[in-house]
Structure 1
Amino acid sequence: MKKTRLRRWIRILYKVFLFMFFSNLVYVVFCKWLYPPITLTQAYYIAESHLHGTSTIKRDYVPYDSISANIKLAVIASEDLRFGAHNGIDWKAIKKAREFNSKHRDSVVFGASTITQQTAKNVFLWKGRSYFRKVLEGYFALMINAVWGKRRTLDIYLNVIEFGKGVYGIEAASNHFFKKKSAYLTEEESARLAACLPSPQTLNPLNQSKNFMDRVAQIKDLMAFKSSDPDLEAIIYQ
């Protein structure tokens, strides 16, 4: 009797897994060709804005070829130096992060989230921190890396990522902070926007503080270092 009940539950869980997998796959394929109507991150902000009576989001999707190469290189330099080499999850960076965090338990935790994982988190998942959510983030990262490829992943990332409080996507950020289209972003402006990504609700690309400008300078140095990377050239320019 117990074995029969266990088998029934296993069959139910298996069917649920298949349903979820194919549902997710269909939406991922949909987003390969069309931008997501709304992300869970944006939906959360809209709901919170209505609750507190604050302003709604600023968002304006723009085609990949209409985005400056400077900001494409800047976010890679800032967030994911091995973007062109990994399969959506940077296992080497995860290993280094674990080693660093185990040796520096009293300091700031060092992360290893790739652009692909950040895209998965913003498009498909809710806000918060948990091991279960991190597993789902990895699951979606592997799926979108396989289905979308690098160019489309970077395209979606730049169009949905938060650059300021309620400011989503590079076109809205460029207009909001620099009063120009994202196609015309300079190296300096791109580095400033990328420097805000760790904490977009508290950092501002117009900031002139020493710590912020040091971060901008570091990103510009990394941009120069990665500018001739053949893997990135294929993603950014071709």
Structure 2
Amino acid sequence: MRRVREVLGYARAQAAELQLDMSWKSSEYGGWWAATEPQLAPRIAARAAAAMEFLRQYAGADSFWTERANAVYLNKGDNQSPESGARAIGELLLAWADQVEAGVVEIVGSRGWEEVGVVSTDVMVQVRRLLEDRLAHPAAPIVLCGAALEIALRAVGDARGVPLPDRPTLSTLTTALRQADLLTKQDVKDLEQCGGLRNAAAHGNFEDLSLERAGLMEQQTNLILRRLTDLQQTVHTQGE
């Protein structure tokens, strides 16, 4: 999966960065890693913070990997130095990436990525076919668009650890993701508009429906699905 490769690539790039700007200081008891220049210490600390946040999001906040990364940094490696702790996080990142690649552990939210991908392709292909079928009622593609949005919103919520109601609807899912700051005010307006049209179709208010409105619903749904896909692609912005 392309997105999994991107996440693993970024993890390994972060691990490599956590080896920069430091040198080994030997002592009779072993030694420690230290910044090559004092002014580089904050930069190394920032890289360590970015790596720990990366593990929190993609390995899981309660995972062994995240807990171990936090502990090893707080303990300055093996009670050596902050730079030693940062370098140890890099080793954890590499080990985590290797286990993901081997199929031993999963990236948090990876199943949600797949669900959003399926909705954005397979389901919306069905919507397009219904719109091109002049014998199909406009209610059919509209209801299918609503279902696609519900599936995608639920997948994003699950992937980001957002508490969701037991029987989520398009409206309650929108509210939950908005409260988690994953949706903008404009996203909410667009989803409410789609939800209103979907409800009209689902409740048999066919006088409000037309092929033109169904076509607009398809366009709006595709735009929202692309936005939800973007929510799953935060890899390139982390640590910047």
TM-score bracket, normalised by the shorter chain, equals under 0.3
TM-score, scaled to structure 2 = 0.27
State the TM-score, normalized to the length of structure 1: 0.27
Larger Cα Rg: Structure 1 or Structure 2? 2
Structure with greater contact order relative to length (CA < 8 Å, sep ≥ 6):
1
